[in-house]
Amino acid sequence: MFPEAVTLNNNEITIQLSLDGFSYSVYDKTRRKYIHLERISGQNPSVRTAVEEIESKHSCEIAGFGRTIILFDNCPNTFVPAAILQNRAKSKYLDFLGIGGGNRTTALDFLNVAEANNVFSITNDDAATLSEMQGDTRFHHAASVLVSSLIKTNIHHNEPVIHINVKSPQFDMIATKGCNLLFHNVFNFKTKEDFLYFLLFTIDQLHLDAGSVPVYFLGLIEEKSQIVELASRYIRDIRFVRRDNDMSFAQEIEKTPYFHNYLLFNSITCEL
């Protein structure tokens, strides 16, 4: 159940903006428990749209929460090693890759665990909305949470590990080795064959062995999906991300596979 207004300051809300809508979760700091989870469909929603819809639906004010985290999963980004980043020229990294553009504000996340920066851009309207929001409001690129959390979980693995975050019609592919980020990219796909091609091609380009490298799935994917079935013909070690036993969830949330909402559940603990 969504918390009453008088208790909002004991809760944290995370809002994840995607190309096809937004999701949000509420975390009760006192009970250390996720108590609400919801997804709203829509085309490339803005921060203002998401906030106003949540406030209207639950008769509350986002500013009343103890902390608000906004995750942008609908904007371009690139990772740059911290040692070479030129902060004053950060927008040029996006321009160089052809993913920059006008009427946008460039931002960055520092990933201490990877000694890298994630450079990304948001619309000027979203930037203005964020500057107007009251209370403890923070924003990050979703890939920053994803990479930070995965490296933190796999930091003691001495061999490469691949994670696939499915967010149809796209997927993130992340390759890590200990605390090193080997690869991150976002691929657009229409068919399961497209998906398999990008996966196998990247594994080959990274000089990894499809017969031995572990590939973990998370995001909007089912364990019995056609994508997983096809990939299992070529990838020997396929797994799904499992929940941290320290996490606690309300009964309704328990019904949803943990890996579907990995980003929402790890945004609070990823140490950005």
Per-residue pLDDT for 6 more than 70? no
Q: What is the pLDDT of residue 246?
A: 82
The mean pLDDT value for 70-87 works out to 95
Per-residue pLDDT for 96 more than 60? yes
Per-residue pLDDT for 134 more than 70? yes
pLDDT tens-digit readout, 214-257: 999 999 999 999 999 999 999 999 999 998 778 999 999 999 99
CA 146 – CA 211 distance, rounded (Å) = 25
Residue 104: how many CB atoms within 10 A of its CB? Answer: 19
Residue with tokens 């013909």: 233
Q: Which residues contact 194 (CB under 8 A, 6 or more apart)?
A: none
Side chain identity, residue 13:
I
Report the half-sphere exposure of 181 (CA within 13 A, side-chain side). Answer: 27
Provide the strand spans (E) within 157-248: 161-167, 170-177, 180-188, 215-219, 238-240
Closest by Cα among 158, 159, 157, 188 to 173:
188
Q: Which residues contact 23 (CB under 8 A, 6 or more apart)?
A: 15, 16, 37, 38, 39, 40, 261, 264
Sheet holding 67-72, edge to edge: 33-41, 21-28, 11-18, 67-72, 137-141
Q: What is the overall mean pLDDT for the chain?
A: 94
Per-residue pLDDT for 165 more than 80? yes
Per-residue pLDDT for 77 more than 80? yes
Closest by Cα among 121, 24, 37, 113 to 69:
24
DSSP summary character for residue 234: T
27: left (phi over 0), alpha (psi -120 to 50) or beta: beta
Q: What is the pLDDT of residue 234?
A: 97
Is the distance from CB of 144 to CB of 137 less than 8 angstroms?
no
The fraction of the chain above a pLDDT of 90, given in percent, is 90
**What is the H or E stretch that residue 197 is in?**
helix 192-205
The mean pLDDT value for 125-142 works out to 97
Per-residue pLDDT for 156 more than 90? no
Residue 221: how many CB atoms within 10 A of its CB? Answer: 20
Residue 71: how many CB atoms within 10 A of its CB? Answer: 25
**What is the H or E stretch that residue 128 is in?**
helix 124-132
Q: What is the pLDDT of residue 157?
A: 86
Per-residue pLDDT for 1 more than 60? no
pLDDT tens-digit readout, 180-216: 999 999 999 999 999 999 999 999 999 999 999 999 9
Per-residue pLDDT for 153 more than 60? yes
Rg over CA atoms, the chain: 19
Q: How much is the pTM? A: 0.95
